[in-house]
Structure 1
Amino acid sequence: MNVVVVGATGGIGNALIEALLDEPRVAQIFAFSRCTGNAHAALCSERVIHGFVDLEKEASIEQAGKTLRDTPIDLVVVASGLLHDGNLRPEKALKQLSQDSLQRVFQINAIAPMLLAKAILPHMRSDTRSVFGVLSARVGSISDNRLGGWHSYRSSKSALNMFLKTAAIGSKMLQPNCVIVGLHPGTVDTQLSAPFQRNVKPEKLFSPQQSANYLLDVISDLIAEDSGKVFAWDGEEIAP
């Protein structure tokens, strides 16, 4: 198996690489991130090929796809995401919205995965099952939205889910064995969720390693009919 992980130095991305390296069938992992150093031990494996990508620049995403050359890819997991950063915080009210924050959140959570699909899907293996998965979120479900708030994050994940559905429909003719899905990792003890863990029950706060293993179990069970859907860490389908 040849695997691509985008967001390789993040909590979930790195945990995915660690788990995948325990799988003998994995020949090589293309690990993409904005960080150029090998800060994590797993990234020092000879089976890991480092690649740079800046998800806010289309040319960088295109170049990342080109580095795959003629390698047939079996699995892609886009493990990047943006909820808060510096002065950027999830909005509780409309008055907190700004064009700059909306654009940045949509760029990382929705636009970049779309451009990654454009760059990488042509490299996906076509003779057997392959999977293109992107970390989504339960809060991106329109029908499940009962609390409001988090306007840009919710909306960006909803846009992502719509894109995955649309891409799945479009790929059926050319790549019928490619399963395109969204993956909700649960609440994971990473920098993304750190400011919002106060009311999370201990058993519902996963370590990155737990979440990565759950997600890989979900991925292993996917079939062609699942393409275009969004699944939670426990295999439950999340309603649009």
Structure 2
Amino acid sequence: MKTALIIGESGGIGGALAGELRAQGVSVTGLSRSRDGLDVTDEESVVTALGALDGPFDLIVVATGALEVAGQAPEKSIKALSPAAMMDQFAVNTIGPAMILKHGATLLPRDQRAVFAVLSARVGSIGDNRLGGWYSYRAAKAAVNQVVHTAAIEVARTHPHSICVALHPGTVATDFTAKYLGRNPAVAPDTAAKNLIGVLGGLNPADTGGFFDWAGKPVPW
């Protein structure tokens, strides 16, 4: 792996991934909303930001996302559902990564191994859902998993050595999760980054379209 593009570098996991990759000698390009004005929910912003890059990149990671949008906490009951909150979740956690895939897949090399990874979450797994709640966030992450799986089929037609996957980074101690950790164990962003880079390095084209956790184990859809 020689070149990488991290979308969402200013976030806890995105920044840790960029730092760890640079420490390993990888040339990293990072984009974020706070520093570069990239709004993943705005297709024109995505086109402008990605169109300014040269590429190709051996690795592209979409590390954007939000557990709360506009102060709306995850719902504990279906009675708490709000159309606006659901649309906000889908805009950030589904449509954003989809737009990066739409306009960023062409930045992958066609003639060699390359990975396009989107950070998802285990709570987006329908098969693993035993607790309920968190309707909008769960649904948005389940939807982005479908986007990744579907895009993997299409990208493989033009990039036969490509690997397009969704990744669950585990519970990571960041501003993103601070209010919801409670007594749940969490790892530092640097540890999560090392784990994810290890998983990325072990993937092969047969894994494209998959959903994997921080230890490289498949997550049920």
Residue type of the alignment partner of 1:7: G
Measured in 1, the distance between the counterparts of 2:156 and 2:41 equals: 29
Aligned residues: 220
* Partner residue in 2 for 1:151: 135
RMSD: 1.1
In the TM superposition, residue 87 of structure 1 has moved relative to its aligned partner by 2.2
Of 98, 102, 112, the match for 1:118: 102
Q: Secondary structure at the match of 2:116?
A: strand
Q: Secondary structure at the match of 1:56?
A: coil
* Partner residue in 2 for 1:233: 214
In the TM superposition, residue 65 of structure 1 has moved relative to its aligned partner by 1.6
In the TM superposition, residue 199 of structure 1 has moved relative to its aligned partner by 2.6
Q: Which stretch shifts more, 52-61 or 158-167? A: 52-61
Kept after mapping to 1: 8 A contact 2:69/2:88: no
* Partner residue in 1 for 2:72: 88
Pairwise mapping of residues 213-228 of structure 1 onto structure 2 (< 5 A)? 213-228=194-209
Post-superposition CA distance 1:75-123 (Å, at most 9, x none): 0111111111452100011121111111111111111111101111011
* Partner residue in 2 for 1:61: 46
In the TM superposition, residue 20 of structure 1 has moved relative to its aligned partner by 0.7
Post-superposition CA distance 1:113-170 (Å, at most 9, x none): 1110111101101111000000011111111111110001000010011111111111
Ranges in structure 2 where 5+ consecutive residues have no aligned partner: none
Give the structure-1-normalised TM-score. Answer: 0.89
Kept after mapping to 1: 8 A contact 2:105/2:155: no
Runs of 4+ more than 2 Å apart: none
Q: Secondary structure at the match of 2:34?
A: coil
* Partner residue in 2 for 1:13: 14
* Partner residue in 1 for 2:29: 30
Q: Secondary structure at the match of 1:160?
A: helix
Q: Structure 1 residues 86 and 166, CA, compared in 2 at 3 Å: closer, same or farther?
A: closer
2:148 equivalent to 1:167? no
Post-superposition CA distance 1:161-212 (Å, at most 9, x none): 11111111112211111100001010000011111111303xxx10000000
Residue type of the alignment partner of 1:23: Q
Pairwise mapping of residues 120-199 of structure 1 onto structure 2 (< 5 A)? 120-199=104-183
Measured in 1, the distance between the counterparts of 2:13 and 2:50 equals: 21
Q: Secondary structure at the match of 1:214?
A: helix
- The share of aligned pairs that are identical, in percent, is 39
Ranges in structure 1 where 5+ consecutive residues have no aligned partner: 37-50
Measured in 2, the distance between the counterparts of 1:236 and 1:79 equals: 19
Residue type of the alignment partner of 2:204: I
In the TM superposition, residue 2 of structure 1 has moved relative to its aligned partner by 1.8
In the TM superposition, residue 66 of structure 1 has moved relative to its aligned partner by 0.2
Pairwise mapping of residues 94-109 of structure 1 onto structure 2 (< 5 A)? 94-109=78-93
In the TM superposition, residue 52 of structure 1 has moved relative to its aligned partner by 3.4
* Partner residue in 2 for 1:211: 192
Measured in 2, the distance between the counterparts of 1:234 and 1:125 equals: 26
2:52 equivalent to 1:52? no
Kept after mapping to 1: 8 A contact 2:115/2:200: yes
Give the structure-2-normalised TM-score. Answer: 0.96
